[in-house]
Amino acid sequence: MKAQADAQPIMRALLPADLEAAQALSAAVRWPHRVEDWHFALGIGDGIALEAARRLVGTAIIWSFGPDWGTLGMVIVAPAHQGRGLGRRLMEACIAQLGPRAIQLHATPEGEPLYRSLGFAATATIRQHQGAAFSLGFQAPRPGERLRPAGRADLGVLAALDTAACGMARGPMLAALLGDAEAIVLDRGGLACGYAMLRRFGRGKVIGPVVAPDEEAARLLVAHWLGQRQGEFLRIDVTDESGLSPWLQAAGLPEVDVVTRMVRGTPATPAAVRSFALASQALG
């Protein structure tokens, strides 16, 4: 075992055939991802693998959202290989592949020092809420508002709202999500002004992305899914500035973790709508 740990891992592309081993790596660091979650992430991104003695010992995935932005995540080093600079190798490879793009990631406290040394700066706090023992009363739309189901015909509208909220061209990601998720749109005065998705992920289902013009609208969108999924295990990752965290706590969806959003480059400036919840911590 020591000889394997001492061998310098080789770097190569992460392939679909690696994803059962990748899921085992994520389970070893107590991440909830299923093999299906890995397939989704790699299917819309580009992965990097570290291999030692024919075993997968490190992973990372990048996502390019147009010429100006990228995100990265799923950065894992096997516990037996940690402390040898492999995380830095993975990060440097990700940064090189993303080129001149600004890069966003979500960092655990353990990862923050490495990311800061590579030029990332903290821009926001993300609060992870999850559970199955939540209860929420009916949330009524305001006058002139209605919620409606969304489908592939709404992709252009969803992409425009999403870009306005996060500054990234994430249309391909949203198209992939629509193949795997339920989605609703909030119309106000006959015009779409927000959306929220729900999909299978990890231990249950995840609510996100959630894009809305204001906190009350975001609550309406989130409450729709909470009301429809009473008793199911749900997760949602919200920005600290969203104001949703105390409301979720009061509804019985406890905060279980906190991570830091970090950006290398100039942070995006939201427009008339904002991002209230992530698609996932990896994707943003």
Same domain, 13 and 87: yes
Do 177 and 84 fall within a single domain?
Answer: no
pLDDT in tens, 214-241: 999 999 999 999 999 999 999 999 999 9
Q: Residues 9, 86: one domain?
A: yes
145 and 262 assigned to the same domain: yes
* Closest to 195 measured CA to CA, from 205, 183, 206, 179: 183
The answer on 169 and 79 residing in a single domain is no
Which amino acid, 151?
G
Residue 122 maps to a domain: no
> Is 105 a member of any domain?
no
Residue 2 confidence (pLDDT)? 42
Q: Tell me, yes or no, whether 135 and 266 share the same domain.
A: yes
Do 234 and 155 belong to one domain?
Answer: yes
Residue 6: predicted pLDDT:
58
Q: Based on the structure, what is the number of domains in the chain?
A: 2
For residue 223, give its domain range: 129-277
Residue 120, exposed/middle/buried by CB under 10 A (0-12, 13-18, 19+)? buried
Global confidence as pTM: 0.92
* Domain assignment present for 109: no
Based on the fold, state whether residues 94 and 183 are members of the same structural domain. no
Residues 206 and 163 in one domain: yes
In this structure, is residue 61 part of a structural domain?
A: yes
pLDDT of residue 133: 87
Residues of the chain with pLDDT under 70: 1-7, 270
Indicate whether 115 belongs to any domain: no
Same domain, 135 and 260: yes
117 occurs within a structural domain: no
Residues 189 and 96 in one domain: no
d(CA 262, CA 112) in angstroms, rounded, equals: 9
Give a yes or no: residue 138 inside a domain: yes
**150 and 256 part of one domain:** yes
Predicted pLDDT of residue 276:
97
Let me know the angle formed at the C-alpha of 136 by 132 and 137, rounded to the nearest 5 degrees. 155
CATH of the domain at 24: 3.40.630.30
